[in-house]
Amino acid sequence: CIEVTSANSLLLHSRPEPKTFSFDHVADTNTMQEEVFGAVAKNIVEGCVDGYNGTIFAYGQTGSGKTFTMLGPAEGEAECFTHELRGVIPRCFEYLFSLIKREQEKHGDHLEFLCQCSFLEIYNEQIFDLLDPASSGLALREDLKKGIFVCGLLERDVTSAKEAYNVLNSGWLNRRVASTSMNRESSRSHAVFTVTLQSREKKNNMSNIKVSRLHLVDLAGSERQRDTHAEGLRLKEASSINKSLSALGNVIMALVDITHGKNRHIHYRDSKLTFLLRDSLGGNARTYIIANVHPSAK
């Protein structure tokens, strides 16, 4: 089992001897959702308003609480937006629009914001628009001006936290889930909710335009076949999930090596997920990974 030993460390009671792991922050079962948001997302949202891309991942075994951390206790219900247990994503919306309001009050008519939201899932290495259930697999493209984008992906204009949450909620109902032996409603896809923020500041008859993206990602749960007894379609899904999670891990480790001065080639194209998020993982982007761990996880 696992024991929280400090605000930055975990003790794994393993054999032949216990192991200690260190992190930027450790939240135990008594940690409130507001505290998690403050530790994880606040600086990333602030960076987004300043023009920096950001990504927040929830990663972990199926059934470990990723969706609860990101969304809250009752997806599909309007009360979840104001519930004290609401997760990282609705709190990001609230904080983002409070910052936008503050900036507009400070600069008046000289500063304008345009906020757009999209919501997709990556299922078996195919991209589907959760805001358009009739969409088939969408193509991932790269353009010199637009960067990496998904052809035909719907984007909705939003002007408030509640509007953004309504977009999230409508798409969440279309996400693929299935029952496994470890989780009654196991997410079978990676869900990526993206907020694109464009600011236009008018100064001395000139316009300064900044565009940033905030990716909020609920990853499909990692799992082992011997634990889930998956077969057929469930086994194919699990294989695709684990392959893309492995590619994500390789990209992150390569980025860490680069920060330590090593010369590494980063294999963004090994999965649709890493290629889609390329511009929000490397460079001056800000990334935070929430690792959800079940207290009794093996």
Is 87 annotated as a binding-site member?
Answer: no
Does residue 159 have a known ligand-binding role?
Answer: no
pLDDT tens digit sequence for 260-297: 889 889 999 999 999 999 988 887 899 999 999 876 65
Q: Decide: 155 and 145 in contact? Cβ < 8 Å.
A: no
CATH class of 32-291: alpha beta
pLDDT digits over 229-266, tens only? Answer: 445 566 677 778 888 888 998 999 999 899 888 988 99
Q: pLDDT per residue over 121-163, tens digit each?
A: 998 889 999 999 888 889 999 988 888 999 999 999 999 999 9
Percent over 90 (pLDDT), the chain: 52
Q: Which among 51, 31, 32, 54 has a CA at the least distance from the CA of 42?
A: 54
62 marked as part of a ligand binding site: yes
196 has binding-site annotation: no
60 is in an annotated binding site: yes
Q: In terms of pTM, does the model score above 0.85? A: yes
- Residue 139 makes CB contacts below 8 A (sequence gap 6+) with 127, 150, 151, 152
Q: Was 64 annotated as part of a binding site? A: yes
Q: Which amino acid is at 1?
A: C
Residue 184 has pLDDT above 50, yes or no: no
Is the bond leading into 16 cis (omega within 30 degrees of zero)? yes
8-46, pLDDT tens digit by residue?
998 888 888 999 999 999 998 889 999 999 999 999 999
| Domain ranges across the chain | 1-31, 32-291
